[in-house]
Amino acid sequence: MSFHLPPSGGRLSARAPAGQDSLSAQLRALQRRLDSLERVVAQLRASQEDTAEVVDELAALRAAAQAAVAERDEAGPAAEAPQTSRTRNLQMLNPEISVSGDFVGNFTAPQGESNNVSATPREFEFSFQSALDPYTRTKIFVTREQDFEIAGFPEEEGEGEEHGGFEIEEGYMYWVGLPGRLGAKIGKFRQEIGLYNRWHTHALLEVERPLAAVTFLGEDGLIQTGAAITLPSLTLGPTTQTATFEVALGDNEALFENGSEMSYLGRMQSFWDLGASSYLQFGATGVYGQNDDEFLTSRLVAVDFSYRWTPPGRALYRGFQLKSEWYFVEKDFELTESTGNGGYVQANFRASRQWILGVRGDYLNGFGSDPKIFQLAPSISWWQSEWVRLRLQYNFLKPQGEAGNHTVLFQAVWAVGPHKHETY
């Protein structure tokens, strides 16, 4: 704010900053009074009349104006600038928080045995995601799980018992925009094997994971602590090739018997663009690790295939997916060698925005001691909304040479927050 007070005649100029309405109004009133008095003084002087009284009043007004300026200056620079809220900036520092729930009920009628009915709040998951800086992101998933088992297979100890409170399912940091288009992450994470190991359980296309994945990788999949690097993708015509390498502590119970040595994973993935509505994807993964305490060496090779068709502009209303994975596993306990293989074929058809029809066929040949097992699992899913999904599924599971089990499952999944149903 500035003033110009001429010794005689002239104009008082004031520019009030935003937010100083009271002071501005006061200065405008003084300005109008000064203008009026200066005109009176000019008229009196022109007629050679006494101006003492008017000049005294004019001097008093100028003193009042100067006092107003002094008050403004004492307020400091903070009073000049408009006050702005920092609430939005603080919100940007907070992570995005989501919560999901997964409830499963099942009715099993094994032949020759009593029927089995159960209902389980299988999992509650808290998701925290945030951009740490322009180059780094983080994801943390805290879960509370309760063991869930379908009669027949797989056999798991501690059915219906809760895990030890809340657990860190995943917690990792990853970099984006690295030189050379490299990708990297470090922490505890779901490893890059096959098509669905990276998916969280409540986001699967069926109620449970395929039999082979549960047997060879564990009920929750291959989740270990380590570091990963993804090489820059190589594009050749309609194809894109991607390679990923991971080093992790080999503590997966199913594969490494809770070991404490390093495990190594390599994956090669090939993406084929077939046009505006469809694509193919092929992948191959190898895993190797040891457990010196158990004198155990484990090797796993997995191959996968995926085809997807979606009409352009109609992805929410129509689509078809065909997926398959196959595992080959070898575990050496000193001089004893155990091998196994198995996989699945899965098809899903989106009939409308809310209805999805699916079917999965499983095959499992365990580590030499279990009989071959076959399973057929058709399902129908209804997306009530973006936040609520209901699913009805039928499993027919038949170990070779034994009677089959018939199971009907009902699943309800709900979620709140920006990440409704976390796949990755």
Please measure the distance between the N-terminal and C-terminal CA atoms of the chain and give it in whole angstroms.
57
Q: Provide the mean pLDDT of the chain.
A: 82
Q: What is the DSSP string of 9-47?
A: S------PPTT-HHHHHHHHHHHHHHHHHHHHHHHHHHT
Q: Compute the distance between CA of residue 27 and CA of residue 9 in angstroms, rounded to an integer.
A: 18
What distance in Å separates the CA atoms of residue 33 and residue 215, rounded to the nearest whole number? 93
d(CA 373, CA 404): 10
Residue-wise DSSP of 259-308: --SEEEEEEEEEEEE-SSSEEEEEEEEEEEEEEGGGTEEEEEEEEEEEEE
Q: Binning pLDDT at 50, 70 and 90, where does residue 367 land?
A: confident
Of the candidates 409, 402, 395, 413, the residue with the CA atom closest to the CA atom of residue 211 = 395
Give the residue carrying structure tokens 């099942």. 106
Please tell me whether residue 80 adopts helix, strand or coil conformation.
helix
Closest CA to 382 of 351, 409, 408, 359: 351
**Residue 220 and residue 210: Cα distance in Å, rounded?**
11
Residues 216-272 pLDDT 10s: 999 999 999 999 999 998 988 889 999 999 999 999 999 999 888 999 999 999 999
- From the list 211, 251, 183, 186, the residue with the least C-alpha distance to 343 is 211
Residue 341 has pLDDT above 70, yes or no: yes
The separation between CA 191 and the C-alpha centre of its own chain, rounded to angstroms, equals 16
The model's pLDDT over 115-147, given as tens digits with 9 standing for 90+, comes to 688 888 999 999 999 999 888 999 999 999 887
Cβ proximity of 263 and 245 under 8 Å: no
From the number of C-beta atoms within 10 Å of its C-beta (0-12, 13-18, 19+), residue 327 rates as: buried
pLDDT at 18: 45
pLDDT digits (tens, 9 = 90+) for 57-89: 666 666 666 666 565 555 555 444 455 555 555
Using a cut of 0.85, tell me whether the model's pTM lies above it: no
Torsion of CA 102, 138, 96, 146, to 10 degrees: 20
- Which amino acid type is present at position 325? E
Average pLDDT for 319-325: 97
Which of helix, strand or coil describes residue 410?
Answer: strand
Q: Are strands 296-309 and 223-230 parallel, antiparallel or unpaired?
A: unpaired
Q: Looking at residue 8, what is its pLDDT?
A: 41
User: Taking the CA of residue 287 as centre, how many other CA atoms within 13 Å lie in the half-sphere pointing to its CB?
Assistant: 29
pLDDT at residue 45, as a whole number: 60
Buried b vs exposed e over 26-37: b needs ≥16 C-beta within 10 Å?
bbeebbebbeeb
Angle, to 10 degrees, between the axis of helix 52-75 and the axis of helix 21-46?
Answer: 160
